[in-house]
Amino acid sequence: MTSGTRTVLDMRGIEKRFGDVKALGHVDFDLDAGEIHALLGVNGAGKSTLIKILSGVYVKSGGTIAVGGVQHELGTPRAAIEAGIATVQQHPELVGDLTGAENIFLGHEGARPGLFGRIDRADIARRAEALLQRFPIQIDLSRRVADMPAVDREIVAILHALRLENTRILILDEPTSTLTEREKASLFSMMRMLRKAGIAIIYITHRLEEVYEIADRFTVFRGGQKVACHTVAEARGKAISIPVLMLGAGGGLTFPPRTGRSDGAVVLEAEGLSADGFANVSLTARKGEILGIFGLVGSGVDELSKALFGAIPSSGALRLEGRDVRFRSPAEALRAGIFLVPGDRRAEGLTLDENVIFNTVAANMSRASLGGLMRFGANRRAARELAQMVDLQPMRLDRDLRGFSGGNQQKVVIARGLYRQAKCYIFVEPTVGVDIGARSRIYALMREISKDAAVIVMSSDCDEVHGVADRTLALYKGRPIEGAADRDQLLHAGIMGGVAA
């Protein structure tokens, strides 16, 4: 239940049109002081449009917005901030070389009197201490942001949003997408403290289990409409299915059927593979099936993917189609037919300032060019065909990748791999920050790809690994644990380092 019944936000009949396209149709949304309200929906459902209206990025086409009982237009980000609405984006833009305190008050540092007006760092420290007295959080704000763990960086971004005393509504966009379970617990502890302080939180997440863990209420959007709003207690008591609400009737099925095959040709085989972060891993990836590897953050899964892709040195045997290989670089692995879909698609998988066409063909420039000249027409046709195959939304081939959602960015990475025409695809955390609808499409694509290539899926989501894979193993503290026949055994192996009896 919410800790208060005072309505702090009341949005009525909100509409948003982009030309002839209606992104939101007559939507109502309300928020109580001291409430954590989860906002859910697949890509394109309308939730992001509502948030951009609320944060002043978009101007609404119709409807009314009241904050604390006062009507507001919120036509600019400044107007939203002045109304007491603050937003923390999924990837906060922080300055790594500055301290946490300096990032909180960036642009509002104040200056010492005098000719040169130097920044008054002592005053910044005092204001940071005063902020921590308002919101008692265990964090060292004197540390450089670059030296902080992910959860502390998220907390710095939240404190930056709360630095103004009039802030009463906090919007958090996918704040746990890069956090470990322990870091997530720390963030949730802070959110509960903010709830007690009367701050209303709109929580956007694709991890549906978190809704039951942290939220008081949730609202579901589908097709530009609000389709449901329930308290978490009501959803539990009535066994309400959030996936069905998000996808519609019959939409709860996430994973495609398994093939049941185990006789496909061996494509990639590792025996006693070891590197910094894991040891003595043996695996076999076959054409026609999906091999799933489950491991929590720190288990060695990320290092294993990089060793298979030649990004870090390793020892042991590695064979591709029966031939011994040793990749000294990712370029060698690519040429041999290995394609890695990395866990951090923004930093490792895409060029965000380039468009869909460039990002699609960049992994195979020999195919994309002829005699040193780019094949512009052929590249556009190939990119369009692959964008249709992965269901890119919207189909804007000339748009920079920065303008797409996380789920659609992931689809472009997959399209890039399909353009490469690899023999083995390695997916690492393939659906982090991806909504449930896009997940279903990505899982179906993996199954389709496995018909002609080997597919390895590495994830810290046990249900994902168990649901999508034909065969599984777990990594625990860098050690492989085999013999997990079902989901519970796989989870036990990855968390406790053994297979449950």
**In CATH, what number is assigned to the domain containing residue 397?**
3.40.50.300
DSSP 3-state assignment of 302? helix
**92 domain-assigned:** no
| Domain co-membership, 59 together with 139 | no
For residues 14 and 26, the answer to whether their CB atoms sit within 8 Å is: yes
* Domain final residue pick, 193, 227, 252: 252
Q: Cα separation of 421 and 339, whole Å?
A: 9
| Domain co-membership, 77 together with 219 | yes
**89 domain-assigned:** no
| Domain co-membership, 430 together with 326 | yes
| Domain co-membership, 183 together with 200 | yes
| Domain co-membership, 135 together with 248 | no
| Domain co-membership, 1 together with 142 | no
**62 domain-assigned:** yes
**90 domain-assigned:** no
Task: State how many domains the chain has.
Answer: 3
User: Given this model, what pLDDT does residue 113 score?
Assistant: 46
**157 domain-assigned:** yes
Place of tokens 């502890």: 189
User: Given this model, what pLDDT does residue 43 score?
Assistant: 67
Cis, peptide link before residue 394, omega less than 30° from 0: yes
* Domain final residue pick, 165, 187, 214: 165
| Domain co-membership, 340 together with 225 | no
State which residues of the chain have pLDDT below 50. Answer: 1-4, 113-117
User: Given this model, what pLDDT does residue 260 score?
Assistant: 66
Q: Cα separation of 467 and 482, whole Å?
A: 17
**49 domain-assigned:** yes
Q: Which domain holds residue 150?
A: 97-165
Closest CA to 497 of 219, 482, 486, 487: 482
User: Given this model, what pLDDT does residue 433 score?
Assistant: 66
| Domain co-membership, 32 together with 55 | yes
| Domain co-membership, 13 together with 143 | no
**257 domain-assigned:** no
DSSP collapsed to 3 states, 58-120: CCCCEEEEEECCEEECCCCHHHHHHCCEEEECCCCCCCCCCEHHHHHCCCCCCECCCCCCCEC
User: Given this model, what pLDDT does residue 347 score?
Assistant: 67
| Domain co-membership, 400 together with 465 | yes
| Domain co-membership, 394 together with 462 | yes
DSSP 3-state assignment of 122? helix
User: Given this model, what pLDDT does residue 46 score?
Assistant: 86
**71 domain-assigned:** yes
| Domain co-membership, 308 together with 349 | yes
* Domain final residue pick, 111, 146, 165: 165
Residue 28's identity, in one-letter code, is D
